[in-house]
Structure 1
Amino acid sequence: MARTALWKGIAGTLAAEVAQGHFPIGARLPSEAELSVRFGVNRHTVRHALADLAERGLVHARRGAGVFVLGRPTDYPLGRRVRFHQAMESGGRLPSKQLTRRETRPSDAKEAQALGLATADAVLVVEGLSSADGQPLAVFRSVFPVARLPGLAAAFEGESSITRALAAVGVADYTRASTRLSARAASTMVALALRIPEGAPVLRTTSVNVDGAGVPVEFGITWFAGDRVTLTVTPEGV
């Protein structure tokens, strides 16, 4: 391994050990001196690796006390029924969602195709940030057909839950018809929202949700912080 990449290898090893539960939430990592001995490098290299973990939101340093684990990757199921709050609470995490944009505009070609609309038909665009235990996990964009869901914009007034907003306009249940998963490098804005370095790995899901009659009601794109979430494909009935 090239000398300049040593800190990346150390950071990757420690991140993996946090993910596997070797260091529980709140645990103190070994000291810089101990890590230097373990990996056979100087303290500057170890410090660089720890700074990378802190920048990714995995650890934080307490002056004079050491470096402590903030969290480990959150399991997130990709099933037919995916509800963020339910998924987080089942894993013992405290979920929260903040909406940052709510706007009605003409659809673009990709949105129109996913929702079965004509290009330029009106859509409601809702964007926001999903967090667990106060740590940002994902940035999302949900696009809804306006004519098909009258009153939805008003339903989002003071409401951050997509499930409750859809229920308010008559969509009592919806399921995931398709999902595409890909790896990306975080753009400037995604990195800023997730508090990760620009270019850090993110997992992007592109999905279409349908109502009980199989009619598309949501086209969604979500960018997950790559080292904070483990995406799990669940059985079709879930």
Structure 2
Amino acid sequence: MARYDLSETEWQIVEPLLPPHGLGKKRVDDRRVVNGIFYVLRTGSPWRDLPERYGPYTTVYNRFNRWAKRGVWLAMFEALAAKSPQSLHLIDSSIIRAHQHAAGGKKGVRITIGRSHGGLSTKVHALVDQDGLPIRLLITEGKASDKTIAPQLIEGLPPAKALVADKGYDSWPLVALIARTGGSANIPTRRHVKNKRVVPPELYRERNRIERFFCRLKQFRRAATRFDKLARNYLAILNLASLRIWLRHVESTP
């Protein structure tokens, strides 16, 4: 087995999540193609530089692109994320530099790349659970406000007992939304706010779990730098990286 390929345990989890074969021509070896996609994800290599052992790069790329369009990668990630007890939610964001080749998409196509002081960038918004495992990911332009995106991160999810975030998420509408879902907002207030919100120090320290998640996410070089023009495809890359993080967790759990 080549480096970065799925282990036997991982493949046993992934295979049932793949779309069923259609009535037409049978798909090329699923495991080989999926391993090729994970190779590009982990190494950051251009699709054209894919090693020959994974077959024609056009086959691997077309499968990635087609399934990204159909939402297959998202569905696979969500299938594993649904296993989380979600007793604790932690939210945060991280700026991702966009490669110059990621800019210049066609007009009318959702790109989600913004220009800021650091250049072209995309912001990844994430919600993780008590184990630092990803539950939901969103992307916006780099200059987007965290607190305005936060409601989309928690919308439709089972309410956690507590949600932890930093001062950038200090917003009474967000706090009220969390309360309406039956959770507790543990978000420190900003300096100029008179009525301070008390956050237990031991709970606030749990924020390191989402910081560690972003560190693991950026070990996948295709996620650490945005090369994809389409927001859909870059979000698929993030979903695949999150899927692999979940697979490793499941494999290592007795």
TM-score computed with the length of structure 2 as normaliser? 0.27
Specify which structure has the higher proportion of strand: 1
TM-score computed with the length of structure 1 as normaliser? 0.29
Specify which structure has the higher proportion of helix: 2
Larger radius of gyration: 1
